[in-house]
Amino acid sequence: MNNLTFIGIIPARYASTRFPGKPLAMLGGKPVIQRVYEQVSLVLDNAVVATDDERIAHAVESFGGRYVMTRTDHKSGTDRCMEAYEKNNGGEDVIINIQGDEPFIQPDQLRAIMACFDDPATDIATLVKPFDPSLPVTDLLNPNAAKVVIDKNRNALYFSRSVIPYLRGIPQEEWPGKHQYYTHLGMYAYRAHVLQSITALPQSPLEIAESLEQLRWLENGLTIKVGMSHTQTIGIDTPDDLKRAEQHLKALTDKA
């Protein structure tokens, strides 16, 4: 990695609209935030939870993790990451923003996003997953699953909630078998000076149109390198997601 230094920052808010307190929800006998932290620590010695809530801070402290208290008025996890980085004394070359509701994040995913910075032109890195053509086309059409178009150097050209590219003259149900589509996995990493600059950027027209923050970065000329992952993680946005996560964890435990 060209001797770059990395820090993993895990933003964790208590006041989630769809699932208040989800970082502290129990999953297999441990809080969700602990499972995220432990997975990140398999790869990164330097990891910290960025939170605005004393209850989350206490939970992190109780399992031996590190935390940084941040403001309550941040509009995005990116902004919270920047404050946490500065309060943690900074100094690292690259900040990896890991969502606090991804308890099944895998070491190979972290390594893939870190490897993106082998290219000195990389400003920001993220992950995509090749879409499995055996899945129903409705999964591809789902606007909650952002699609990504990449160039031959694995730089992102565009992110969209629509299916891109449009395959002219081919029935929509056949699209997954006729072209390799990529869906976005919401983990980011930023060079430190880039993170500082993007937190000062105003919202852009494409970002507002699609409600995708990463379009602001593309519109401002930043290079987003894409790492590949074939692992589908389970994010926890709702209590129903937590039930699915419990079933997945049980399946993993039984398999082991």
pLDDT tens track for 72-97: 888 788 888 999 999 988 799 999 99
Phi-psi region of 89 (alpha: psi -120 to 50; beta: other; left: phi over 0): left
Is 1-105 in CATH node 3.40.1450.10? no
For the chain, the domains span: 1-105, 107-185+200-232
Is 107-185+200-232 in CATH node 3.90.550.10? yes
Q: Could you check whether 1-105 and 107-185+200-232 share the same CATH topology?
A: yes
Q: Please answer whether residues 228 and 108 qualify as being in contact, where contact means their C-beta atoms are separated by less than 8 angstroms.
A: no
Helix, strand, coil tally for the chain in percent (to 5): 35, 20, 40
Residue 5 has a pLDDT of 96
pLDDT tier, 254 (very low <50, low <70, confident <90, very high otherwise): confident
Average pLDDT over residues 213-238: 93
φ, ψ dihedrals at 78, nearest 5°? -60, -45
φ, ψ dihedrals at 58, nearest 5°? -65, -40
Cα–Cα distance, 229 to 212 (Å, whole number): 20
The pTM of the full predicted model, rounded to 2 decimals, is 0.92
pLDDT tens-digit readout, 37-68: 999 999 999 999 999 999 999 999 999 999 99
241 is written with which tokens? 């997601």
Residue spans of alpha helices (H) in 42-191:
54-62, 77-87, 107-115, 137-141, 175-178
